[in-house]
């Protein structure tokens, strides 16, 4: 519903979920911090100067946006968002967390697949200033964050 993906869209998140490592991002699978039957989460390739180690959650099945996403995913996504947000608090020692989800170009969406973005937040981090000009994070940096967060999520108890 209200779809914008071009015909034959080469969906980058489908590649991640399927475990396909592309030459431009050879370390992809090492960046995955959580996976179950329904959801996959990884350290995002772009970040903000003061909010590093940010995470993307997507469904293992391709849905373009919130309008298409079956409501049965709601609790699952909420529960994983909570886990990761608590992971940020515990592992990154951040002061807060922000969860964002974009739909359609005018809603800020740029990857044509439903996903949730989670950012660790810090006092005076200027998030609003940098939010629309993300920078690339190196594979080394992302793997470092992934290892720490994965350890926490693996040992997570309610
Ligand atoms: Zn896809």
Residues in the chain: 158
| CA 14 – ligand 1 centroid, Å | 4
| CA 10 – ligand 1 centroid, Å | 8
Q: What Rg do the C-alpha atoms of the chain give, in angstroms?
A: 15
94-115 mean pLDDT: 97
Q: What was the pLDDT predicted at 23?
A: 75
| CA 114 – ligand 1 centroid, Å | 8
Q: For the segment 86-104, what is each residue's pLDDT rounded down to a tens digit?
A: 999 999 999 999 999 999 9
In this model, does residue 21 exceed pLDDT 90? no
| Closest alpha carbon to 50 in 156, 110, 121 | 121
The tokens 């998030």 sit on which residue?
127
Report the alpha-carbon distance of residue 82 to residue 116 in Å, rounded.
Answer: 12
pTM given for the model: 0.94
In this model, does residue 157 exceed pLDDT 70? yes
Q: State the average pLDDT for the chain.
A: 94
72-87 mean pLDDT: 97
Phi-psi region of 2 (alpha: psi -120 to 50; beta: other; left: phi over 0): left
Range in 46-55, 62-71, 131-140 with the lowest mean pLDDT: 131-140
Q: What was the pLDDT predicted at 132?
A: 81
Distance of CA 50 to the CA centre of its chain: 17
| CA 29 – ligand 1 centroid, Å | 16
Partners of 136 in beta bridges: 46
| Closest alpha carbon to 49 in 136, 149, 148 | 136
Quick one: pLDDT band at residue 28, thresholds 50, 70, 90?
confident
| CA 5 – ligand 1 centroid, Å | 10
């Amino acid at each position: 519903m209200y779809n914008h993906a071009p015909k034959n869209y080469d969906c980058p998140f489908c590649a991640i979920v399927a475990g396909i490592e592309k030459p431009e991002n050879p370390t992809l699978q090492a960046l995955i911090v959580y996976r179950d039957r329904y959801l996959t989460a990884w350290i995002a390739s772009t970040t903000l100067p003061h909010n590093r180690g940010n995470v993307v959650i997507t469904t293992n099945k391709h849905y373009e946006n919130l309008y298409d996403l079956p409501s049965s995913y709601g609790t699952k996504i909420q529960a994983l968002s909570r886990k990761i947000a608590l992971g940020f608090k515990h592992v990154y020692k951040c002061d807060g967390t922000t969860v964002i989800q974009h739909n359609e170009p005018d809603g800020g969406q740029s990857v044509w697949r439903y996903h949730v973005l989670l950012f660790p937040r810090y006092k005076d981090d200027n998030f609003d200033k940098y939010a629309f000009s993300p920078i690339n994070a190196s594979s080394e940096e992302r793997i470092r964050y992934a290892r720490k967060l994965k350890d926490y999520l693996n040992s997570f108890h309610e």
